[in-house]
A and B are shown apart, each in its own frame.
Chain A
Amino acid sequence: MNVLSKVIALGVLSVVAACTNNDPTALGGGAGGNGSILPGSPSDPQSPAYFQQTVGDRVLFEVDQSTLTGQAQTILQGQADWLLANTDFVATIEGHADEQGTREYNLALGARRANAAREYLISRGVAGNRLTTVSFGKERPIEICSTEECYSKNRRSVTVLTGSTLG
């Protein structure tokens, strides 16, 4: 349910983002003129915070898999749209694994996941030279319980925006 409503919101907002971008004069004025949207805040569609929270910066994977699920593809499509609209940003895609696996295998598995996300973004038109990958294997879980509830959130790729010339 959550994902679904997020996807609908995303569709609407990416249209907004596209419009503002097509009109260069609206860039500064658009956000400021609105009066209620603070530039750089999560409600600013051009902000990394918006990308992280509203577009969704992460996708999840099945156990020992790097295949993108339907949900993952939807989120990555949103990321691609955002990156195409906000060309001043580059991204590092982190690949992660849960703790069920050996350290070195999981490092390789995380690399597969990061690469799967990267390839998808490229297939949707994002330039490959804007996207680097890094695998953290099982070194950086976000949830620390040892049950599937946590594991499912740790098997992820996270698209981290870097190198914004907008500061």
Chain B
Amino acid sequence: MMRFLTSLLLGLTILAAPVYAQSGPLRLELDQGIIEPLPFAVPNFVPDGPAATQYANDLSRVVAADLTGTGLFREISSDAFISRVSNFEAPVQFADWKAINAEALVTGAVNVSGKRLTVRFRVWDVFSGQELGNGLQFSGTTDGWRRMAHKVADQVYTRVTGESGYFDSRVAFVSESGPKNQRLKRLAIMDYDGANVQYLTDSAAIVLAPRFSPSGDRLLYTSYETGQPRIYVLDVDRVKRTELKTQDGTMSFSPRFSPDGRSILYSLIQGGNTDLWKMDLASGQSVRLTNTPAIETAPSYSPDGSQIVFESDRSGTPQLYIMPSNGGEATRISFKQGRYGTPVWSPRGDLIAFTKQNKGRFHIGVMRTDGSEERLLTSSFLDEGPTWSPNGRVIMFTRESQGASGRATLYSVDISGRNLRPVRTPDGGSDPSWGPLQK
């Protein structure tokens, strides 16, 4: 993976821009609430020789799937195309794309020589006849073609919306198989869209709730491999895990990285009581952050590291609280009816996603950091454990279906509450943790 990353970076080149008439640029304003998805076309990228044909087709399909998957874009089928793009350098026939109402057009070309793949692409504002941004070129090894497709799609997304993308990112999760009473769980990692699943543990011990480090190089998780729940850190590239030692004879779980990746928060159970602690990873030293007879768990740092949102039942039911990152007085922020858990601070810092249980239903919701403007995005028998896309636009979570044949599936939803969709994984999936945009 590292080698590929390097070659991908080295291979980024800005293409010389062709000159066209300039007018008002195409722009999808996400904050204004997207009702009607923006129609776009991605004609299959032009292969430079037979070795590139399959890659060109697959790559353009992944670009289109990324954009369509946001719910913000709608792909126009190639059946409707008037123009064929058989030469990447030839002028675009804008009239042909206008006629089928494509507002954005992505053209591309793929070259394969040996194990090296190069993709060039341009993004067009069809109605103004103008190129959005500059043409770019990515190179890498052929087995990294999906990442290159995601990078192209991220560029398209950013140029049309003005926001950073999230397609070239990975998700850590727990792969689940077997019935509820004998469920087998394995730690796994995959591309954000469910492709390239890689298993990081076997199913010998229960594993729970992985969390990516801010740079995506490590995962924190809880495992029962000693018979007790304990926290571990795993080097993602080497697939090498280390137990994070807490006090002897205790159970620990719910580990989360600090924004600088140097310390972690976790829950420690002593004498049946669960409190929050902080561990410095270099020294292994822990300090206590809460000291109450209530359950304190599921912590999450604010992006600037100054505050922690967490879950506590000190009021009698689980609710959300915010405290300074060194502990101290906590302020309750959840006040509507129901039980609140698993708060996660958004990467933009303005929202907190949570799980809410009310009247026999579970919801994923978001609220402002002062608890105002609560909105529930989903509702089902059991939804839990939200995680934010790197750009703070999408939430992934676990949905468990009811009854003896109940199964856990990953879902994603736009923060508008629209575009609820399952994320396909080979087996069941739970406890997603969305990693950063890859470099």
Contacts and interface: CB of A to CB of B under 8 A. Distances in A.
The answer to whether A and B come from one shared complex is yes
Interface of A: 64, 66, 99-105, 107-109, 111-112, 114-116, 118-119, 132-136, 139-146
B298 A104 contact: yes
Interface of B: 179-181, 183, 206, 208-209, 227-229, 249, 251, 253-254, 267, 269, 271-274, 295, 297-298, 311, 313, 317-318, 339, 341-342, 355, 357, 381-382, 384-385, 400, 402-404, 406, 430-431
Contacts of B430: 103
A127 B404 CA distance: 39
Given A102-B384, A103-B431, A134-B227, A108 B295 contact: yes
Given A102-B355, A103-B209, A115-B271, A144 B179 contact: yes
Contact of A105 (B229, B272, B295, B402): B295
Contacts, number: 100
Nearest to A139: B206
Contacts of B253: 104, 107
A66 B271 CA distance: 13
B181 A140 contact: yes
Given A134-B228, A144-B179, A102 B251 contact: no
Contact of A111 (B251, B381, B400, B403): B251
B183 A139 contact: yes
B272 A99 contact: no
Given A108-B269, A109-B295, A103 B406 contact: no
A107 to B, nearest CB: 6
A143 B403 CA distance: 10
With most chain B CB atoms within 10 A of its CB, the pick from A103, A133, A136 is A103
Contacts of B297: 104-105, 107-108
B12 to A, nearest CB: 40
B381 A105 contact: no
A14 B404 CA distance: 38
Contacts of A103: 208-209, 384-385, 430-431
B342 A141 contact: no
A102 B342 contact: yes
22 contacts: A99-B180, A100-B357, A102-B311, A103-B384, A104-B253, A107-B251, A107-B297, A111-B272, A114-B272, A115-B273, A118-B272, A134-B228, A134-B229, A134-B251, A141-B180, A141-B181, A143-B181, A144-B179, A144-B404, A145-B403, A145-B404, A146-B403
